Chains A and B, each alone.
Chain A
Amino acid sequence: MTSPRIKHVGLLLLILSTLVAIACRKQPPPPPPAAAVPAPAPTITLRAEPGTVERGQPITLQWEARNAASVQIEPGVGQVMATGNRQVNPTSSVTYTATATGPGGTATDTARVTVNGPPPPPTAAPPRAEPRVDISELFRRNVQDILFDYDKSDIRPDQVSRLQGNAAFLKDHPEVRFTIEGHADERGSQEYNLGLGDRRANAVKEFLTSQGGIQAGRINTVSYGEERQDCREQTEDCFQRNRRAHFTQN
Chain B
Amino acid sequence: MKKHLLVLALVAAAMTCGNGLSARVQGPQIETGTSRGILGIKIAVPEFQPVSADEKTIQLTNLFNKVLWDDLEYSGVLTLVSRSFYPLGKFANPGDIKPEEWTIPAVDAQFVAFGNVRAGGGRVSVEARLWDMKSPQNREAIGKRYGSDETEEGARLIAHQFADAIVELIGGGIRGVSQTKLVYTSDRSGAKELYVMDYDGNDSHALTSYKSIVMTPAWSPDGEKIAFTSFRQGGANIEILSRIDRKPYNFVRQGGTTTTPMWSPDGSRIAYATSRDGSDTEIYVADWNGRNYKRLTVSKSVDISPVWNPRTGREIAFVSDRTGTAQIYIMDAEGTNVRRIINDGGTAVNPSWSPDGQHIAFAWQKSRTSYFDIYVHDLATGKNDQLTQSAGDNERPTWSPDGRHLAFESTRNGTSQIYSMLADGTKVRQLTQSGKNQGPAWSGYLGQ
Q: Which residues of A contact B (CB under 8 A)?
A: 150-151, 188-192, 194-199, 202-203, 205-206, 220-225, 227
Contacts and interface: CB of A to CB of B under 8 A. Distances in A.
10 contacts: A188-B347, A188-B365, A189-B319, A189-B326, A190-B216, A191-B319, A194-B260, A195-B257, A195-B321, A199-B281
A248 B308 CA distance: 37
Interface of B: 192, 213, 215-216, 229, 231, 234-236, 256-257, 259-260, 273, 275, 279-281, 302-305, 319, 321, 325-326, 347, 349-350, 363, 365, 368, 372, 395-396, 438-439
A222 B235 contact: yes
A221 to B, nearest CB: 8
A227 B215 contact: yes
A191 B349 contact: yes
Contact of A196 (B302, B368, B439): B302
B304 A188 contact: no
Given A191-B216, A192-B304, A223 B257 contact: yes
B234 A222 contact: yes
A167 B236 CA distance: 26
Contact of A223 (B236, B303, B305): B236
A195 B256 CA distance: 11
B280 A198 contact: yes
Contacts, number: 93
Given A188-B347, A223-B235, A227-B192, A199 B304 contact: no
Contact of A151 (B192, B234, B325, B363): B325
B234 A191 contact: no
Contacts of B349: 188-189, 191-192
Contacts of B192: 227
Contacts of B234: 220, 222
A192 B321 contact: yes
Contact of A195 (B215, B304, B438): B304
A198 B254 CA distance: 14
Q: How would you classify the secondary structure of chain A's contact residues: helix, strand, loop or mixed?
A: helix
Contacts of A202: 275, 279-280
Contacts of A198: 256-257, 275, 280-281, 302
B280 A227 contact: no
Given A188-B347, A192-B319, A199 B259 contact: no
B325 A191 contact: no
A195 B235 contact: no
Contacts of B279: 199, 202-203, 205-206
Given A189-B396, A223-B236, A224-B231, 19 more contacts: A188-B326, A188-B365, A189-B347, A189-B395, A190-B438, A191-B215, A191-B304, A192-B304, A192-B305, A194-B215, A194-B257, A194-B259, A195-B259, A195-B302, A196-B321, A198-B302, A199-B275, A206-B279, A225-B236
A195 B215 CA distance: 13
B438 A194 contact: no
B363 A189 contact: yes
Given A188-B326, A192-B326, A227-B213, A199 B260 contact: no
A184 to B, nearest CB: 11
Given A190-B438, A192-B321, A195-B303, A222 B257 contact: yes
Contacts of B365: 188
A169 B326 CA distance: 36
Contacts of A191: 215-216, 259-260, 304-305, 319, 349-350
Contacts of B259: 191, 194-195
Contacts of B368: 150
Nearest to A195: B302
Contacts of B325: 151
A192 B275 contact: no
A197 to B, nearest CB: 8
